[in-house]
Amino acid sequence: MNRPLLYLTLLLVAALAACTRHTPPAMQPATATTSSCLPSHDGYLRVRLRGARDLDIDWHDADLECEGGERPGQGGLRLAFAGPVSSAGHRLRFVFGVASAAGIASSREVPTNVTVIFEGEHGLYSTRGDDKCTIDELTQAPVIAREAARAPAGTLRVSGRGFCASPAAAIDGQDALLLSRFDFAGLVVDAATADHPQ
């Protein structure tokens, strides 16, 4: 092989090697960063949304990220449910402000405030008061002994079903969402029990 042809061959091999080194890896599908909702793995959220968005939510424990505790400055309970992260990085979150004290085993017709947040889309809707939605039946129970090690002290399993008679309005007042029905099972950490365990 003559020298010019040899140089050309070496140059071509080097160029191909460089291209191989810099080929971008295959794109991986977006995955949810949520964790299990309840230690018992039976958390859920089902919501029927109509209005600015028409959605039928049916999330189960592995799809959910849950948190809950006392409602700051207003009394009652606050439960939040966040669903899976979409491929575009968006996420839907529901926050229920429930006019019930922690630890009450069962209560009925509980006034509730609801906030719906479309994270990453600048969408925020709220009933702005607890006179528009009602939880027909609310149940609270301590997590059972074999699950307590996987939850903070004072954790309660809270479940309820209800509806809204009036829609949640957008912050800019341009549109609204009606939660015609919802039911959930999530958690609340009772601060009093957590601070003074039995």
Sign of torsion over alpha carbons 10, 12, 13, 14? positive
Model pLDDT for residues 68-120, shown as the tens digit of each residue: 999 987 789 999 999 998 888 899 999 999 999 999 999 999 999 999 999 99
What pairing do the DSSP bridges indicate for beta strands 65-70 and 106-119? unpaired
Locate all alpha helices (DSSP H) within 107-154, ordered by sequence.
145-148
Ranges of each domain in the chain: 44-195
CA 39 to CA 150: how far, in whole Å?
Answer: 6
Percent of the chain's residues with pLDDT above 70: 76
Residue 3 has pLDDT above 80, yes or no: no
Distance of CA 129 to the CA centre of its chain: 21
CA 154 to CA 102: how far, in whole Å?
Answer: 10
* pTM given for the model: 0.78
